[in-house]
Amino acid sequence: MSLAQASCDRASAQARPGGAAAHPTLLLVTTILASSLAFIDGSVVNVGLPAIGRSLHAGSSELPWVVNAYLLPLSALLLFGGAAGDRYGRRRLLILGTLLFALASAACAAAPSLPLLLAGRIVQGVGAAILMPNSLAILGDAFSGEARGRAIGTWAAVAAVAGAIGPVLGGWLIDVVGWQAIFLINLPVAAGAILLAWRFVTPTRNPNPQPLDKAGALLATLGLGALTWGLTIGAGPTGWTLTAIALTGAGAALSLVFLVVEHRKGDAAMMPLTLFASRDFVGLTLLTLLVYGALGALLVLVPYELIRAAGYSATAAGATLLPFPLLMAVTSPMMGALAGRIGSRIPLGVGSLIVAAGFALATRIGPGGGYWTTTLPAILVISLGMAGVAAPLTTAVLGSVDARHTGSASGLNSAVARTGGLVATALLSSVLAASGPLLTARFRMALLAGAIAALAGAASTLLLTRKRPANA
């Protein structure tokens, strides 16, 4: 998980009323440790795909599931996990989610076959969907005013560091120990988060909780699961077989049923459809889906191409992405300040256009291309573009709906960012199936598709969102 995705989550904390923490520093450490599980895992596994594929004999239609088995429950259950924390207590759900993540990580490390690894990844995703929103809710509740701003800034800075270190550390562990080690590093982090949460996070419980939208959560999971499965098969070597078409159709039908159920539930829904009455929110949601989908594909494809086609080690491939979170950490605050002065619409549109240009530059990556002349320029341009998207997007989402729905809007925006990555990864089977010159050719076609997606994201922003005064 990148810093750009972390900025979507940051809005959830900013949207909540704040209080005073008895042990503010230790509480902040608790939320950082818990959230870093998702940050580290989301970036490290991408670097490990070639090694996992070789070790467990995963085919091209199976390898995307190493990523998507995690993203699917995370995307579908993120809002449900936050609502469950409101109902049953955020500390309790934070500990439960972190414990689930730790147990699943141990199972992934011990998995002797791909199906067992995927089962562990699914449970990891469920754990992340529980711990992420509750970690941020605890952070938002515990601080107020200027202290909350400092706490969220610290949390975001650590997210950047985790995003930077994760691929390099993971690549080194894969080269020296084996891919199993990238899951084992989660265990001490999870243990520390659980112990600190038990000791320093005050138990809370909503006296008037909303009933949980269990039907919505089930339909969202089944719909996304069938759609992802169908797209993965359809994009693979076998093409659009009857099974792929049937699964994709079933996913679309279940998604429509989900929308009907959510409409009937009104404001009690996991995804209140009243949010989409705002044209601004519709435009921002499309931008998030398209740009973060392209970014999710990039973070899978670049290490895979460099390892399989250009002969990089896992450590070196992970290090190529190092400038991305570091540059974003430096430039995102400046872009956020600029959006505060001139409004979010122009930074979002221009940022998306710069991302598209970076994807076009990235088509030069491949065998024979030097890192300094091909990979680094593309990563730097994409980083600058995403800085123009990430920070202003937080402000724009919170300002696109009324105060009653800011929590739902920010949570949904975070879920949409993951869903974009989920769908994009499902479409990568044909790329991951290739080798040699064909791999590079398909890699470049996928990056051109990412550039088109970023252009469409810019269009959705500039056409659907309205001009707003600064700080509106």
**Same-domain pairing of 246 and 165:** no
Q: Which of 231, 250, 269 is the last residue of a domain?
A: 269
pLDDT for residue 407 is more than 70 = no
Residue predicted with more confidence, 269 or 455: 455
**Rounded-to-integer distance, Cα 270 and Cα 82, Å:** 10
pLDDT of the residue at 145: 64
**Rounded-to-integer distance, Cα 257 and Cα 295, Å:** 29
Token digits of residue 92: 């309790």
- pLDDT tens readout for residues 159-193: 767 777 788 888 999 999 999 999 999 999 999 99
pLDDT of the residue at 98: 96
211 lies in some domain: no
Contact between residue 329 and residue 165 where contact means Cβ atoms under 8 Å apart: no
Ranges 15-19, 34-38, 411-415: which has the least confidence: 15-19
417 lies in some domain: yes
**Same-domain pairing of 346 and 385:** yes
Ranges 57-71, 85-99, 307-321, 457-471: which has the least confidence: 457-471
Per the structure, how many domains does the chain have?
2
**Same-domain pairing of 149 and 53:** yes
Kindly list the distances between the CA atom of residue 437 and the CA atoms of 168, 219, 308, 372, 416, in Å, as whole numbers in the listed order: 26, 41, 11, 22, 34
Highest mean pLDDT among 214-223, 347-356, 426-435: 347-356
Ranges 25-34, 319-328, 407-416: which has the least confidence: 407-416
Residue 204 burial by Cβ neighbours in a 10 Å radius (0-12, 13-18, 19+): middle
pLDDT of the residue at 115: 94
- pLDDT tens readout for residues 420-444: 988 898 888 889 888 889 999 999 9
Could you tell me the pLDDT band of residue 1, with boundaries at 50, 70 and 90? low
**Amino acid in the structure at residue 254:** L
pLDDT for residue 472 is more than 50 = no
57 lies in some domain: yes
- pLDDT tens readout for residues 104-114: 999 999 999 99
- pLDDT tens readout for residues 377-398: 999 999 999 988 887 887 788 7
Q: 3-state SS of the chain: helix, strand, coil percent to 5?
A: 80, 0, 20
Token digits of residue 187: 């265990």
Instruction: CATH number of the domain at 458, please.
Output: 1.20.1250.20
The 10 Å CB-count burial string (b at 16+, else e) for 422-438 is bbbbbbbbbbbbbeeee
**Same-domain pairing of 337 and 246:** no
State the average pLDDT over residues 60-78.
Answer: 87
**Same-domain pairing of 231 and 109:** no
Highest mean pLDDT among 210-214, 330-334, 372-376: 372-376
Q: Kindly give the residue spans of alpha helices, DSSP state H, lying in 400-428.
A: 406-426
Token digits of residue 406: 């800011």
**Same-domain pairing of 352 and 306:** yes
**Same-domain pairing of 261 and 355:** no
| DSSP summary character for residue 77 | H
- Domain residues for the domain of 428 are 3-203+270-464
Token digits of residue 447: 């990056």
**Same-domain pairing of 392 and 244:** no
pLDDT for residue 207 is more than 70 = no
pLDDT of the residue at 357: 97
Highest mean pLDDT among 13-27, 196-210, 280-294, 403-417: 280-294
- pLDDT tens readout for residues 266-293: 878 888 888 888 888 899 999 999 999 9
Q: Which of 269, 289, 312 is the last residue of a domain?
A: 269
